[in-house]
Amino acid sequence: MTTRELSQLYYLTQEIKRARERLAELRTAAASAAAHITGMPRSNSASDRTAASAIRQADLEDTLDRKIELLETERIKLLTYINSIPDSLTRQIFQLRFEELLTYTQIVWRLGGGNTEWGIKKRIQRELARRNTEESA
Global pTM exceeds 0.85? no
pLDDT of residue 35: 52
Quick one: 75 and 53 in the same domain?
yes
Quick one: 14 and 54 in the same domain?
yes
Using pLDDT thresholds of 50, 70 and 90, give the confidence band for residue 47: low
**Domain end position, chosen among 67, 84, 101:** 84
Burial class (CB in 10 A: 0-12, 13-18, 19+), 102: middle
- Give the tens place of pLDDT for each residue, 16-28: 999 889 888 888 8
Quick one: 107 and 124 in the same domain?
yes
Residue 97 has pLDDT above 60, yes or no: yes
Q: Residue 111 CB: number of other CB atoms within 10 A?
A: 15
Quick one: 92 and 125 in the same domain?
yes
